[in-house]
Structure 1
């Protein structure tokens, strides 16, 4: 049995007592160590790549699946050395086109090898990358391009056409570098608008002829302006230095040395599908590039992701809870549907492995092959470690992943403003319901939130807003000192807006959100995300949006049914056999769903005022494409409220007249 510490965090030695906040805390193995910033052999993002070249020169680095008659073929790989040549040539091409240090380079595509190559080429000349993504909306792209005065964008042709259509608003745009090639017609269309268009292959070729070099970045050079989509308002440009981008890599290397982090190596394979426009995916890729590992890219369609995974057979899989929840639901529903001996065997195996988790065991000599092999095959059969972040994940799902995939699972916590990594679970700690300890790249304290009755003196555990300080904390919001001052204080603490608690074992636990709460008419405070997490564990629920009007005494919800279970459940309830949209429109269906959720919520410990009193059934999922979710699958509450205002009003009217 693994000997675990009594507390996973300790107070930073010598830190003063400050009224209204806890003392800063760090991982118990890092209290007297320097805060990590740059990994040992790299002082910039480009040097991270050079270290990967040193580790794996002629070994595969970036892989994709070429299409043949609309069908994706096997993965085709470029080696570290081949990619290195492309990066140098493209960087030279940038220099020949007049790009210099601190110029902005827009990156606009789904994940693909050229995205990585273009960013690294930018780093060779100290240019600043500005990721773009159309799920932000045209207005946001307009805002970003003009705020940063982007002259050069590297994009796929479909994304370039969006920019071309917006040219009248984009006064600074002068050069489009097309990742997937451009034909004479497109080049001519760009020329008419005063834009030069060139394929990335042609620009690399130009760069290879009489190579030109620019200024290499240092750890303090601005690396990227990463715009956060947020859930409301105008996007904010988070300025991250090269050290910020590397801090998660340095922290993980420190954790590996102490046995706290999974020891990833050049032999690992990773599937890249989480948006590269977001810092979580980029932080992971920095870590894996540093050790010379392989990065295989998905086709660009999340509906075909599992096909790509089956082909690639990754050893490392990162995702957001939404996908892990779906896998969990599908497996558990399948077991329930089979019933009989198969279900009995699965449940026996699951219970045996869950008991083993208490001793730190994630494998079993019998059950792994006999029962869980088919589950593991869903992710290619070779996954050894999983990472989850961007939103809380339930304890049930965390246990499920460890049991069914025999994988180590790291849950991380952070924001764009903390370079993705603020806290992470220790690989030796198989307890659930928390987000571990601060990453070695920073430290964390809790600050009182009097309006919500959270204080550092609370018993039995101190509570307050989570604040982060260290080499992972951003430099500020671009051209926005007022917004910067709201989040980044004079002592370098980033105020996250999340409410946390230090538990009895020194874990950090997220318990609330400073802004995402509201008060009902009778004075009860509501944290909707907590309630949504409960409901989304129910087999009927795919997604949900819980809302409470401050002039009302109860909650209502918009519920998107789980399409795989909803129709079968409806038949069991004696409801008519109809399509999902037709079922959603039936009042009898709505009442049956409301009854099921009320019973489930009560069983899960929701208080009476936390259980919704009415629901509207929405057959169409919330997605980034329809503007109801951010690209990292966080619900946009403001937009959801606007879209469903008439349904919300109707539900409250019905409750009032009942």
Structure 2
């Protein structure tokens, strides 16, 4: 099931052989879907095959009580008509309000600017997931333009950066974004037109219009005019299009389809240039790998400005698909699922981990009789999964897990998780609870989210699976980190990807483009992977995230953090180290169970606050002992034990919103910078105190002599993956 095909005689010094999908050994798509070469053609093909089918779904919003009702649907033909009218209207808007010289010509001579960028125009799209988001992108494609997903998270100024860096002059957005855009119009001098996805007369309420009225939008219009910005709504642009219809100007395969900004885990944002050819190739690869049925209902909630959700949307668009958009509030996600009853979900570990915590607490981790029954049921379903390949169990599904399945709508048959490795316990729990495939995939913005994926029915955990159809992967050695790709025992190295899904480069960044795009068409991903014994590939870590300590040991923090976070007292864990320090230290956000435990550890004093408990040296010392016992129980090497801990009473998202990327990956550099003083204090405490009577910031634990036993061999990677 897991084994990738190894291309014969493809080994090279310092590299593994080339791996491919076992059903596509020649490295191509076997001419399947060869007639579809652009994302606009993907949509047109769907229109031709399913003209009257329900296509885009939106939950009815009731402003009087702030609640949502059932989904209402646009058919494929209705969507086509709206795309045509809005696209024609956009042609008129650009012709009237955007000067010809603004057509990206000003950056024509910049490094990292392809010819397609200079001859095409971009349409900014600034909203949470909704039908109008996809309609706007398809209308841009119809008119030979490309989309730019504008991001309003991860720090002040991000939206302005996206608009300025991409040079967009027209932005389609939800009404709630308009005041912010006008407030900061001085920071986006190239902005000429704002198109509201919501009616400016407020005659059709949505969740984005709650704070507005006809009088407030009149003020917005006047303010926009004073700033030299044209403010229209989508209905007005559609009316222009109906009065001034234009012929479609379908894109070519080498045209840009989107400028997508990377999540920024390693620092500065990068504008990833995606062509229609590359994105369509990735979508074809995905549908060939998954082979979804003739009728698929999909919930779109992962932000569309990232490639992951659009990758899924355009892949499944090859089939008969209904796309229901979430209500716009993450707290309503399960409610959206119950209303839509999706059959396919894409998700990220952050979402599944949160759901797992809540569901496990009520089922397999409950102390009641119901918890005991749930644990028996879970064990029986896991055994059936291992033996038969499916976890369906008539008795235990009816008694225990049918309620969990109904929380997800009751019809889910495939859950695809990407963006980061998923804990095996969480993956198995949802396989058993939902009686469906829960598989992991791997991709980057630079590969249009495509790369590797587990095959349907794969029961393994901790793996990325095999390459997508038509995609080549291999590993190359990283000698300075001790990773040897051509090792006979455990091949490890940087993951390289090659195929039609690879991006065209970074906008205005020729240096980083050249560093990422290697000779032979290979993309250097910056991720470390290994070839597993079963023939699949597993992600080890990001190269930039590996910690080298003063003992010349390389520590992979993220797998270790997942191990520590399994402790009942831990919510989230961040490990920190330095080439100037011998030990690891930890930043821990405690779990809910911490409060009662810490109150007892503090001597039963009158209910102090969580912040007070986290600050008490005695609590920190007791907490660190718990971590050491936990690490010993897991069999972690001494070099992976933490020597001091800083307890943070608040979730990291509450401390600084810039800690997470748009795909909820942790920005490790941002955490290190924010807590630099705390980490310095931990190391000072280690230096100043003995291990027996440490009185600093929790610096107790394994002695230097004990830790030194792990450093007998230099340049050794500590791995717990």
TM-score (norm 2): 0.85
Q: CA deviation at 1:303?
A: 1.9
Q: CA deviation at 1:615?
A: 1.8
| TM-aligned CA distance change 1:336 to 1:367, over 3 Å | closer
For 1:424-469, what per-residue CA distance to the aligned partner results, in whole angstroms no more than 9, with x for missing partners? 0011321222111001131101111111111222231322110000
- Distance between the aligned counterparts of 1:525 and 1:332, measured in 2? 34
| TM-aligned CA distance change 1:82 to 1:311, over 3 Å | same
Q: Which moved more, 1:199-208 or 1:582-591?
A: 582-591
- 2:614: which partner in 1? 584
For 1:49-79, what per-residue CA distance to the aligned partner results, in whole angstroms no more than 9, with x for missing partners? 2222234322322222233222222222222
Contact kept in structure 2, 1:37 and 1:441, CA below 8 Å? no
SS at match of 2:318: helix
Q: CA deviation at 1:216?
A: 0.5
Q: CA deviation at 1:420?
A: 0.3
- Distance between the aligned counterparts of 2:532 and 2:130, measured in 1? 41
- Distance between the aligned counterparts of 2:320 and 2:223, measured in 1? 41
- 1:169: which partner in 2? 187
For 1:597-634, what per-residue CA distance to the aligned partner results, in whole angstroms no more than 9, with x for missing partners? 22222222322121222222222222397111111111
Q: CA deviation at 1:310?
A: 2.4
Contact kept in structure 2, 1:39 and 1:247, CA below 8 Å? no
| TM-aligned CA distance change 1:638 to 1:126, over 3 Å | same
Q: Which moved more, 1:80-89 or 1:246-255?
A: 246-255
- 2:553: which partner in 1? 524
| TM-aligned CA distance change 1:382 to 1:571, over 3 Å | farther
Q: 1:451 aligns with which of 480, 495, 500?
A: 480
Q: CA deviation at 1:533?
A: 1.4
- 1:645: which partner in 2? 676
- Distance between the aligned counterparts of 1:587 and 1:571, measured in 2? 13
Contact kept in structure 2, 1:35 and 1:471, CA below 8 Å? no
- Distance between the aligned counterparts of 1:333 and 1:605, measured in 2? 26
Residue 155 (str. 1) matches residue 173 (str. 2): yes
- Distance between the aligned counterparts of 2:680 and 2:489, measured in 1? 41
| TM-aligned CA distance change 1:212 to 1:317, over 3 Å | same
- 1:622: which partner in 2? 652
- 1:436: which partner in 2? 465
TM-score (norm 1): 0.93
Residue 95 (str. 1) matches residue 123 (str. 2): no
Q: CA deviation at 1:377?
A: 2.5
- Distance between the aligned counterparts of 2:636 and 2:52, measured in 1? 56
- Distance between the aligned counterparts of 2:501 and 2:408, measured in 1? 31
Q: 1:533 aligns with which of 555, 562, 578?
A: 562
- 1:611: which partner in 2? 641
- Distance between the aligned counterparts of 1:575 and 1:324, measured in 2? 35
Q: 2:347 aligns with which of 295, 311, 319?
A: 319
Q: CA deviation at 1:568?
A: 4.6
- 2:334: which partner in 1? 306
- Distance between the aligned counterparts of 2:259 and 2:604, measured in 1? 52
For 1:552-608, what per-residue CA distance to the aligned partner results, in whole angstroms no more than 9, with x for missing partners? 211112212234x33354467565544433433333433333222222222223221
Bigger Cα Rg = 2
- Distance between the aligned counterparts of 2:267 and 2:410, measured in 1? 42
Q: CA deviation at 1:41?
A: 5.0
For 1:385-427, what per-residue CA distance to the aligned partner results, in whole angstroms no more than 9, with x for missing partners? 1010100012222111111110111210010001101000011
Q: CA deviation at 1:90?
A: 0.8
SS at match of 1:476: coil
Number of residue pairs the alignment of both structures matches:
645
Q: Which moved more, 1:111-120 or 1:600-609?
A: 600-609
Residue 350 (str. 1) matches residue 378 (str. 2): yes
Q: CA deviation at 1:139?
A: 3.5
- 1:632: which partner in 2? 663
Q: 2:441 aligns with which of 412, 432, 438?
A: 412
- Distance between the aligned counterparts of 2:523 and 2:29, measured in 1? 16
Q: 1:29 aligns with which of 19, 23, 26?
A: 23
- 1:387: which partner in 2? 416
Q: CA deviation at 1:169?
A: 2.4
Structural mapping, 1:69-148, within 5 Å: 69=64, 70-98=66-94, 102-148=120-166
| TM-aligned CA distance change 1:306 to 1:532, over 3 Å | same
SS at match of 1:98: helix
Contact kept in structure 2, 1:362 and 1:408, CA below 8 Å? no
- Distance between the aligned counterparts of 2:658 and 2:31, measured in 1? 36
Q: 2:4 aligns with which of 1, 4, 9?
A: 9
- 2:256: which partner in 1? 222
- Distance between the aligned counterparts of 1:442 and 1:160, measured in 2? 41
- 1:205: which partner in 2? 239
Residue 545 (str. 1) matches residue 609 (str. 2): no
| TM-aligned CA distance change 1:330 to 1:136, over 3 Å | closer
Q: CA deviation at 1:40?
A: 4.5
RMSD, aligned CA:
2.2
- 1:284: which partner in 2? 312
Ranges in structure 2 where 5+ consecutive residues have no aligned partner: 96-102, 104-118, 201-216, 690-721
Ranges in structure 1 where 5+ consecutive residues have no aligned partner: 256-260
Contact kept in structure 2, 1:38 and 1:246, CA below 8 Å? no
Contact kept in structure 2, 1:124 and 1:217, CA below 8 Å? yes
- 1:258: which partner in 2? none
SS at match of 1:74: strand
